[in-house]
Amino acid sequence: MPEPLKIDTKIAGVFNIPEGKTAMKLLEIGQRIDFEAEPQNAFDKNAIALFANDNSGLKTKIGYLPKTVAADLVGKTLLRVEKSGPSFDSIIAFYVPAEEVKATASDVFVLTDQEINHFRLIQSKCHAIAVAGGWWNDIKTGEPLKRNKGELLMLMVSELAEAMEGERKNLMDDKLPHRRMAEVELADAIIRIMDYAGAHGYDVAGAMDEKLGYNTQRPDHKPENRAKEDGKKF
């Protein structure tokens, strides 16, 4: 994938959205800004709305890309928008011509903002469901529990062990009999991971995006190096 091109610009409409101006002031330079196309927008069919995200899945609309910028991006792929300077409304947009986008391991931006934020929302929901189910409170007193981290991490491992057993014996799940046991146990492992991350304020989605990007550049992950005598075989 080629180096992304960029447009330095200002957020449009931010003064018409009081809560957006406040949210924008809280963003740090370099912080990502979510974006969504609004093809049904009555004023601009190319409109691209911008949102601030507080890492918990809560999005606040902060404005739009300027109309001229949105028009210039027609036929191109918008990769990322971020705050670019001390002025609260300064932003930078990264894009590439649509025909040059290829799903290769060398992509600079591995996950889209929308994918990352969906993952963060899933994490929040998994933890909220566990809290509502009473797993983070004493079952008798209702007082908050300080759960053992090692125990919780090993419970994640237990789900993977059960997935292994399902694959070893080619089993269907006993609770969701229309699904394979491994499939359900992998889901359980992810649910436990998301619950744990939510409880401790971990941004697993952001870390996964960065780690995927890092791994694509690792010499020991390149096919030619893995094929060497001392290369990673699995």
What's the pLDDT band for 99 if we cut at 50, 70, 90?
Answer: low
Indicate the pTM of the whole model. Answer: 0.56
What's the pLDDT band for 123 if we cut at 50, 70, 90?
Answer: very high
Mean pLDDT for the stretch of residues 141-163: 96
Q: Which amino acid is at 204?
A: V
Residue 110 CA: distances (Å) to CA of 73, 80, 174, 207, 213: 20, 11, 36, 12, 6
> What kind and span of H or E run contains 227?
none
Query: What are 40-94's pLDDT values in tens digits?
Result: 899 999 999 998 876 555 678 889 999 999 999 888 888 889 999 888 789 999 8
The pairing of beta strand 90-97 with beta strand 48-53: unpaired
Query: What are the E-state strand segments in the chain?
Result: 5-10, 32-37, 48-53, 59-64, 76-83, 90-97
Strand order in the sheet with 90-97: 5-10, 90-97, 76-83, 32-37, 48-53, 59-64
Question: In the block, which residue shows the tokens 């093809």?
Answer: 39
Mean pLDDT for the stretch of residues 89-100: 79
- What does the alpha-carbon distance between residue 59 and residue 158 come to, in Å, rounded to a whole number? 35
SS (H, E, C) 18-31: HHHHHHHHHCCCCC
Domain at 5-100, CATH class: alpha beta
Task: Find the angle CA(196)-CA(32)-CA(76) to the nearest 5 degrees.
Answer: 125
Mean pLDDT for the stretch of residues 124-153: 94
